[in-house]
Chain A
Amino acid sequence: MASNFVLEFEKPIVELENKIREMRNLPNITDLEPQIQELESHIEALRINIYASLTRWQRVQIARHPDRPYTLDYLNFTFTDFVELHGDRGFRDDPAIVGGIAKLNGKSVMVIGHQKGRDTKSNVYRNFGMPNPEGYRKAKRLMLLAEKFHIPIICLLDTPGAFPGIEAEERGQAQAIADNLLVMSGLKVPIIICIIGEGASGGALGIGIGNRILMLENSWYSVIAPESCSSILWRSWDFKEQAAEALKLTAPDLKEHGIIDRIIPEPIGGAHRVPLQIFETLRDVLTEELDQLQHIESRLLVKQRRDKFANMGVWTE
């Protein structure tokens, strides 16, 4: 999964790592071993330091890291026995949203998530993880299927937004998203949402109504992407850092405002650095959350979900 992609703020780490690599290529490597060890511990300290004080914009960059695990990676490693189900039964299969039945620690679940591509070709195929209306309609179909057979639903959110194209508008992008919000509000099975990367606006929320909302430590979730926010409010693309700060779009921000329930810690350096670790962490967390929800009667599950969203918002009265 590894590319050679380096984030600006990670450059000091990469420079030191390159230095170690050079040293290891030298002839008298044994003499240098103490120095290398010292450098390595220095790198580790530096990484901990950098990751302990990330700005909001830096977190957005980690959420978009090209090596970051995507929905299908979790389906292959966090879950087992995944069988993909395709199509909205109306227009076409949207590869920007994937879904199907799978097992979580032996228990059957319906998993639905946004799917980005890893390279140009797969990104064109996946439309960069930007769904069209038929993607949301496929998701709805799978959720109703899950409800019919009392199967719990898990949604993994990772999208730069719903696709703003002519055909998407013709086929009712707004209606497709709205309908999912309505339908998900009334489903009689447990729904767990986890934001695994980018949670951009209605395109993310369109599969985002749940009893529990979890968020990976370095993912983001807001009403708009920082760049677009910058272009609208500052009338320039140059204020994305300020926009990210103003939007308060990180997991700790959203936890503070009661929008999410739980932050899932990532390995230092981001989920992509030790993918196997995040796959396991998510399996443990989802299992634990699902165990709690499965004891709740379906009528109460619906009520709890509706009340949860009814309580969101801050005003003066």
Chain B
Amino acid sequence: MSWFLRSKKNIEHSQQIDMPDGLFVKCPSCSEMIYRKQFEEQLFTCTKCDHHFRITSKEYIDILFDEGSFVETEISITSSDPLKFVDTKPYIDRLKDAYKRSDANDALTVGYGNIDGKPISFACMNFGFVGGSMGSVVGEKFYRAAKLAIKQNMPFVVIATSGGARMQEAALSLMQMAKTSAILSELAEHHLPYISIVTDPTTGGVSASFAMLGDIIMAEPKALIGFAGPRVVEQTIRKKLPEGFQRSEFLLEHGFLDMIVHRKNLHDTLSHVLSTLMEYRVQ
């Protein structure tokens, strides 16, 4: 299935991050005014410079899965406030704001569906929910999605975008790095493919755990990917960072990505890779 056929579907976008309404959308990278219809056909990328706008799990599900095949699971898991964390604002209030501003119920959406008829367990982060940060809920949903893959003999596909671990859950958040990596080590023993698709931005605890553990790691063009955020690196070395530092192309050059995939090729590339990895697998 080619991307331009899929894009005829009315892809409804949600949780707008950098996507204003209107007939035209201005590209933040090259300032091109993109006609909205064309913009949606191009799967929310710039028609002139290929800038990839940040989109949410809802859009990725539309892009990747056979129409109507995706079933979201674990929707009833929500964040609590185990540490009664208060900084300039209580964590509980930050969560309330996040529910109001986003239609996702945490920074990770999980479920299963078909890609070209093949069943896949899927997890996708929502950057719009507390900066896509990983706390207990993200860890638990990820864990269950990986478990489902093991139980049903399905590949596991993850789309990452995150500012890192959720600070308001402190050490509990840190442990989600361990929890997600540990279940991936179990998945690996079952010889089931784990594909990580890294999008802009992915830093901190998510990059230093499941985002960088794919059997195959793909990234969207020019995505910011790193352990430390660029501001922290700049403060540490007290120098201006080189052009393109911590972008997908930089990671590809240094050997940390298998490939950079334009969003319009994501579906076909993923489908091809998955069917290849599953071809000789003994059930």
Contacts and interface: CB of A to CB of B under 8 A. Distances in A.
Contact of A315 (B137, B177, B178, B256): B137
Interface stretch (A114-122, A270-278, A303-311): A303-311
A171 B227 CA distance: 11
Most chain B CB atoms below 10 A, which of A174, A222, A317 = A174
B171 A222 contact: yes
B16 interface: no
A247 to B, nearest CB: 4
A311 to B, nearest CB: 9
Interface in B161-209: 165-167, 169-179, 181-186, 188-189, 203-205, 207-209
Interface in A228-262: 229, 232-234, 239, 242-243, 246-249, 253-254, 257, 259
A309 B136 CA distance: 11
B87 A174 contact: no
A310 B176 contact: no
Majority DSSP secondary structure for residues of A touching B: helix
A172 interface: yes
A137 to B, nearest CB: 13
B171 A221 contact: yes
A313 B178 contact: no
B204 A179 contact: no
Interface stretch (B30-38, B58-66, B77-85, B112-120): B77-85
Given A174-B208, A224-B167, A234-B87, A313 B185 contact: no
B82 A243 contact: no
Contacts of A179: 212-213
B143 interface: yes
Given A169-B226, A169-B233, A223-B205, A174 B212 contact: yes
B82 A205 contact: no
B228 interface: yes
B5 interface: no
A178 B211 contact: yes
Interface of A: 162-166, 168-175, 177-179, 181-183, 185-186, 201-202, 205-206, 208-209, 221-224, 229, 232-234, 239, 242-243, 246-249, 253-254, 257, 259, 305-306, 309-310, 312-317
